[in-house]
Structure 1
């Protein structure tokens, strides 16, 4: 089927989302297919704000593969159903038809898979020939079907490394200074990133001493008793807390009151809440940290496994699209743990869209504060290897800023409701 390929990025970016983007564009070029990108995700399609990736050099694409952020801009925009917002779907097809787009690749998580699925179904009804394929990514590792989500391995590596290094620091100061260090990590409903912190230690007295998972209801009295016992035994205590930590009533400990575009609660920081409890009840000096965007933008310490998988799903997405596989998404299938082997296979978007993969209870120790051997076996291969970016004479990584040349518009401006 002739026509162009349109690629878009969605939701929170990862350290390796541009690795997927570079693979998508390079694979399209290898097949002689012209590739466009939407500026700021699905909003770029609605606004007819498209980018001609053909204006980028091969060298720029190579640098794109190791550049963090979302090179074409991302967005948090919840596309309603065609029945609730028919004008938006009509506009999407109008823009794609005007630019002869026949392949649409949406790089994102659960909501993005749902969006790609909706557009695929609508295009069939509209009569416009369009192949829609998802490209998986999410730091939260909560995508269904796939063994892991591209983006997670690098966050896992960054988190484990941060816990290891910070804990060495805390240990050196504990005699007369900081006794408790609290690191807050991403993970609204699934504790995958929190679990990855457990890779920093091997023994019972190694940090992190307590991991607070969103899957386990927070018990303040038990938490404080555990912190106190750890400080008395080890001399200090490192705590890793998921941002999605909830109390027994199911309330977020740090809900700030707002909602994002997808209807998710805006969380205001669980680490300072916990730190205050430690200070008030135990009197220990503390420090806390909130890496936030640093977790997902840390391309300088990306996992080689993660980078390889991000590139693989990008290539596969183009191959599936050109082969006419509509409504699918490439997923990672684990062959074995040791040695770690994996492959890419197609899965129906319908099995991924809006399905959330939680951390199995078997990955959390019985006391609720650590990871099991089973979790370690699953997590460890995902952080293996280093995919360092090249460094230049400034001592900083050589990251690229693309031209992002605009494709001339052909339609009237979109009247956004």
Structure 2
């Protein structure tokens, strides 16, 4: 008789996180080491509250739809486990013992890997045989030690397409109406998503003209001069703004005045702040777009590369765990750009936990207001291909499970 496994999703979602779930579930079904694969509802909360579903009870058709469904089908969470003395550990391991759990797969980002690391360490401290593997996920692409993360490629594709179409729109209206278009992207400390909008220019250069990155302190004078240059040359200016841009004094250009459960300042509306500056100080008509959740759950425009790698990350997590490995996260190591090839490797959870991977200097233009050719070469394979969801009545047919308690 083998052990059982539990999988859970945590943190901000992506359009391909359920593809990783699919990889875990299908591989667990095939594994001789895993009897049952449970999914916890709403992340670690589902374990604490014993809100688990046995995936063998789901119809095959619903499991197949996981590949196409965005966001978290099973619910996510932002719950932080404080330290080794947190009484929550007792509850978690009582549930693990009750369900004969020998494998724990946690699918998330920086803070989620901290939780996985603490559970792994606690298991060792009480001599409980538990194999813990983290599965990467974040549209922000800011997990250290991995070339990229599932979710980023699809969000990059969505944002590049969005700013391309928005730039064409403002160009058409610029003669005697709107002169500036601003698109705000996610990205608390790292500018990967904002940078990805530059992919809009790889076919025809409609925009963006300017990209504001968190790694570069916001210089209003330089920014305004650049806008005027593009309006003089092209008649309009298209701008991508990361939500995490900061002034030289390290204060955010815009935050909402409160923090999330992990103590992070809640960001938002940096694009609106920038738009107001441009309108009020340059006297230009500006249109602003804040895609917010749309950029991370736009599954209709997901990248084929991203979906396939998300599934593979889930499969590799099961492979590594059933081979006796624990306390690591699956990482991607790029072998080559052309042809594009990656290897799946491992890195210790304690090195991933709470870390941040910033956009490197060689990816940022000399004036700090755009990206380099090196970034375009890095990003291009990640947005390649399409994996279109099934449509019904003209709308994507996504999986909805009535499983919440």
CA deviations over 1:334-376 (Å, ceiling 9, x no partner): 1100111112122222221222110001101001111101111
**Aligned match for 2:44, one of 38, 42, 45:** 42
176-185 vs 325-334, greater mean Cα deviation: 325-334
1:209 alignment counterpart:
209
* Inter-partner Cα distance in structure 2 for 1:206 and 1:401: 38
Partner SS state of residue 2, structure 2:
coil
In the TM superposition, what are the counterparts of 1:144-159 in structure 2 within 5 Å?
144-159=144-159
- The residue aligned with 1:183 is 183
Range 1-10 or range 187-196, more displaced: 1-10
For residue 413 of structure 1, what is the aligned residue in structure 2? Answer: none
Q: Distance in 1 between matches of 2:272 and 2:223?
A: 15
Structure 2 matches for 1:287-298, cutoff 5 A? 287-298=287-298
User: CA 1:405–1:280 in 2, change beyond 3 Å: closer, same or farther?
Assistant: closer
What runs of 5+ residues in structure 2 fail to find an aligned partner? Answer: none
Residues 198-347 of structure 1: pairs in structure 2 closer than 5 A: 198-202=198-202, 206-347=206-347
TM-aligned CA deviation for residue 268 of structure 1: 3.2
Once the two structures are TM-superposed, the CA of residue 199 in structure 1 deviates from its matched residue by 1.0
Q: Residues 204 and 388 (structure 1 numbering): CA distance in 2 closer, same or farther, change over 3 Å?
A: closer
- The whole-number CA distance in structure 1 between the counterparts of 2:293 and 2:181 is 19
What secondary structure sits across from 1:369 in the alignment?
A: coil
Task: Determine the C-alpha separation between the residues in 2 that align with 1:268 and 1:28.
Answer: 39
Q: Deviations over 1:214-236 (max 9, x none)?
A: 00000112111211221111100
Task: Summarize the alignment of residues 8-407 of structure 1 with structure 2, pairs less than 5 Å apart.
Answer: 8-32=8-32, 33=34, 34-83=36-85, 85=86, 87-202=87-202, 206-392=206-392, 394-404=393-403
Aligned-partner Cα distance in 2 for 1:204–1:27: 42
Question: Given that residues 164 and 206 in structure 2 are in contact (C-alpha distance below 8 angstroms), is that contact kept between their aligned partners in structure 1?
Answer: no
Report the RMSD for the aligned CA atoms in angstroms: 1.5
Q: Distance in 2 between matches of 1:268 and 1:367?
A: 25
| CA offsets 1:245-283 (integer angstroms, 9 cap, x no match) | 100100001112100011110113111111111111111
Q: Is the 8 A contact 1:52 1:405 kept in 2?
A: no
1:411 counterpart residue number: none
| TM-score, normalization by structure 2 | 0.97
Query: 1:68, 1:309 → 2: CA distance?
Result: 15
CA distance in 2, matches of 1:277, 1:8: 43
> Taking structure 1 as the reference length, what is the TM-score of the superposition?
0.94
Question: 3-state SS of the aligned residue for 1:139?
Answer: coil
Partner SS, residue 198 of structure 1: helix
Does structure 1 retain, via aligned residues, the 8 Å contact 2:168–2:206?
no
> Are the equivalent residues in 2 in contact too, given 1:53–1:405 (CA < 8 A)?
no
Post-superposition shift, 1:43?
1.1
The C-alpha deviation readout for 1:13-45, integer Å capped at 9, x for no partner, is 100000000111111011153110111001111
Residue range with higher mean Cα deviation, 27-36 or 71-80: 27-36
8 Å contact from structure 1 (residues 194, 242) kept in 2: yes
Distance, in Å, in 2 between the alignment partners of 1:265 and 1:295 is 20
Gaps of 5+ in 1: 407-417
Question: Number of aligned pairs?
Answer: 403
- For 1:351 and 1:251, the matched residues in 2 are separated by 27
The alpha carbon displacement at 1:2 in A equals 2.2
User: For 1:144 and 1:267, how far apart are their aligned partners in 2?
Assistant: 22
